[in-house]
Structure 1
Amino acid sequence: MQAYVFEPEMVVPTRTALLVHGWTGEAASMSAFVEPLLAEGFRVVAFDLPGHGASTGRELNIPLGVASLAAVARVFGPLHAIVTHSFGGAIALAALAGSVRGQPPVSTERLVLIAAPSSITEITRQFGATIGLGRRGQAALERRIHVVAGNPVEIFEGALQLEAIGLPTLVIHDRQDRELGFHHAQALAEAGKFVTLEATEGLGHRRILKARPVAESAARFVAGEG
Structure 2
Amino acid sequence: KTKAASFALRLFTTPMKGFIKKEQIKFLDSAFQEEFEYDSIPIITYRWPGNNKTVLLAHGWESNSARWEKLVHQLKAKHYNIIALDAPAHGNSGSRRFTAILYSEFINVVTQRFQPEIIVGHSVGGMATMFAFEKYKYDHVEKLVLLGSPSEFHEILHRYTKMLHINKRVYKSLELLIQERFNKLPAEFSTAKSSSSINVDGLIIHDQTDPIIPYSDALEINKHLKKSKLITTQNLGHSLNDETVFDHVEAFLSQ
1:112 aligns with 2:145: yes
Which AA in structure 1 matches 2:130? L
What does the per-residue CA deviation read over 1:79-131, in whole Å, with 9 as the maximum and x for residues that have no partner?
20110111111111111111xxxxx4455221100010011111111222222
Preserved CA contact (<8 Å) 2:48 2:81: yes
Structure 2 residue aligned with 1:7? 49
Match of 1:74 among 112, 115, 124: 112
Aligned residues: 212
Could you tell me how far 1:221 is from its partner in structure 2? 1.2
Could you tell me how far 1:6 is from its partner in structure 2? 0.6
Structure 2 residue aligned with 1:89? 126
Structure 2 residue aligned with 1:169? 202
TM-score w.r.t. the length of structure 1 is 0.87
Matched position secondary structure for 2:166: coil
Preserved CA contact (<8 Å) 1:111 1:222: no
Match of 2:248 among 198, 211, 217: 217
Which AA in structure 2 matches 1:96? F
Could you tell me how far 1:26 is from its partner in structure 2? 0.1
Preserved CA contact (<8 Å) 2:198 2:225: no
Q: Mind listing any 5+ residue stretches in structure 2 that lack a counterpart?
A: 1-42
Aligned mates of 2:77, 2:183 — CA distance in 1:
41
Which AA in structure 2 matches 1:87? V
Structure 2 residue aligned with 1:46? 84
**More displaced stretch, 170-179 vs 151-160:** 151-160
- What percentage of residue pairs aligned between the two structures are identical? 27
TM-score w.r.t. the length of structure 2 is 0.78
Preserved CA contact (<8 Å) 2:134 2:198: yes
Match of 1:130 among 163, 173, 179: 163
Structure 2 residue aligned with 1:143? 176
Preserved CA contact (<8 Å) 1:62 1:149: no
Match of 1:31 among 56, 69, 94: 69
Point out 4+ residue stretches in structure 1 off by more than 6 angstroms.
Answer: none
Match of 1:187 among 220, 243, 247: 220
**More displaced stretch, 33-42 vs 134-143:** 33-42
Aligned mates of 1:85, 1:59 — CA distance in 2:
19
Aligned mates of 2:107, 2:160 — CA distance in 1:
25
1:197 aligns with 2:239: no
Aligned mates of 1:62, 1:37 — CA distance in 2:
26
Which AA in structure 2 matches 1:181? P
Aligned mates of 1:67, 1:161 — CA distance in 2:
15
Could you tell me how far 1:35 is from its partner in structure 2? 2.5
What does the per-residue CA deviation read over 1:140-184, in whole Å, with 9 as the maximum and x for residues that have no partner?
212222233332222221211111113211010111211112111
Aligned mates of 1:218, 1:163 — CA distance in 2:
22
Aligned mates of 2:202, 2:179 — CA distance in 1:
28
Call closer, same or farther: CA 1:174–1:163 in 2, change over 3 Å.
same
